[in-house]
Structure 1
Amino acid sequence: MGRGFLLMWLLIALPAAAQIYKYTDASGNTAYSNQPPDGVKAQPVELPPLNSVAPQAPPAPAAEASNREPPRSAYEVLELTGLPTDEALRANNGTFTVSVLIKPRLQAPHLFRLLLDGQPYGQSSNVPILQLVNIDRGEHSLAVQVIDGEHIIQQSPTQTFTVQRVHKR
């Protein structure tokens, strides 16, 4: 371990030294020095050149947004239907369904994923009728995403709605 440490130290200090010499000391150990010892046969050590990294120019700025076309949506229409807009959704057990209006039809391997209050909800599916179960009373937001694996292809506008549940005593 001592020899390895010494060699590493010498490699680090190499830029300050003009030459490194290798020799065998009186105990038979291999030693390194920046000066050849007196009375001992020392061999100059050929070391590979030091690694260096050339500075790189910063990346070119991206084309201005005004020069780019707006991103094209994969689907002309993607929205949720079946949520009341003017009144509370009455669901005594908190279970209800929503439908997805999509044009053109969902393309394989795309799937629908619901976002309830900004978080993924339930299993992704290719069926445009989605069920929500045991949703707490109160105000919520809901959107649907079209996904391909974990990549989001498109997201519908978010709709806010209120769930009303009857409390039995």
Structure 2
Amino acid sequence: MGRAFLFILVMIALPAAAQIYKYTDANGNTAYSNQPPDGVKAQAVELPPLNSVEPQTPPPATTKTHADEQPQNAYEVLELTGLPTTEALRANNGTFTVNVLIKPRLQGPHLLRLMLDEQPYGQPSNVPILQLVNVDRGMHSLAVQVIDGETVVQQSPSVTFTVQRVHKP
């Protein structure tokens, strides 16, 4: 049994140790072969060692992502538009809408959720126009998150704005 095993090992190893020969054929073309041709001058080709790559294990997938641990490039663009930043937003009843600029389009199960003063606001939606109702006067911060269930996929930069509510006598 030992000789048969040794013979199999030698047969497997022979192709790995095979020599390559370079020669010029009858038409003047350079040719390569694993056996030198009869009656033709052939040169043994020195091959560099084979490259090898160790398999790498992928990093473990994270199931929860917090706002400060966002994956990069989930969306190229995610920002709020339609909010004045240099002057007050006039909304006598505190109701106004904001637009979400997002590229590429919102994907699969992802939803948009507003964060008013760092707290979730309203119901998540897949529509990029979101309404805020009865927001108190004063300074606020607003951001939008892309969520997948309870997992935050990505969050936009916060926009600071001031709501001005004027009461009519």
What TM-score, normalized by structure 2, do the two folds share? 0.58
Give the superposition deviation at 1:167.
1.9
Partners in 1 of 2:166 and 2:94 — Cα distance? Answer: 10
Give the superposition deviation at 1:71.
4.2
CA RMSD of aligned residues (A): 1.6
Tell me the equivalent position of 2:140. Answer: 140
Tell me the equivalent position of 1:106. Answer: 106
Partners in 1 of 2:97 and 2:119 — Cα distance? Answer: 17
Tell me the equivalent position of 2:82. Answer: 82
Q: How many residues get paired?
A: 101
Paired residues for 1:12-91 under 5 Å: 71-91=71-91
Is residue 101–residue 128 contact of structure 2 (8 Å, CA) maintained in 1? yes
Tell me the equivalent position of 1:166. Answer: 166
Tell me the equivalent position of 1:153. Answer: 153
Q: Cα distance 1:94–1:127, how it changes in 2: closer, same or farther (>3 A)?
A: same
Give the superposition deviation at 1:108.
1.2
Give the superposition deviation at 1:120.
0.2
Q: Cα distance 1:156–1:135, how it changes in 2: closer, same or farther (>3 A)?
A: same
- Unaligned stretches of 5+ in structure 1? 1-69
Amino acid paired to 2:80: L
Q: C-alpha offsets along residues 74-119 of structure 1, whole Å, 9 cap, x if unaligned?
A: 1000000000011000001100000000000000100000000000
Partners in 1 of 2:72 and 2:155 — Cα distance? Answer: 13
Partners in 2 of 1:114 and 1:71 — Cα distance? Answer: 19
Partners in 2 of 1:140 and 1:81 — Cα distance? Answer: 15
Tell me the equivalent position of 1:92. Answer: 92
% same residue: 82
Partners in 1 of 2:99 and 2:110 — Cα distance? Answer: 16
Partners in 2 of 1:162 and 1:129 — Cα distance? Answer: 20
Q: Which has the higher contact order (CA 8 A, sep 6+)?
A: 2
- Unaligned stretches of 5+ in structure 2? 1-69
Runs of 4+ residues over 3 Å off in structure 1: none
Tell me the equivalent position of 2:23. Answer: none
What TM-score, normalized by structure 1, do the two folds share? 0.58
Partners in 2 of 1:108 and 1:98 — Cα distance? Answer: 22
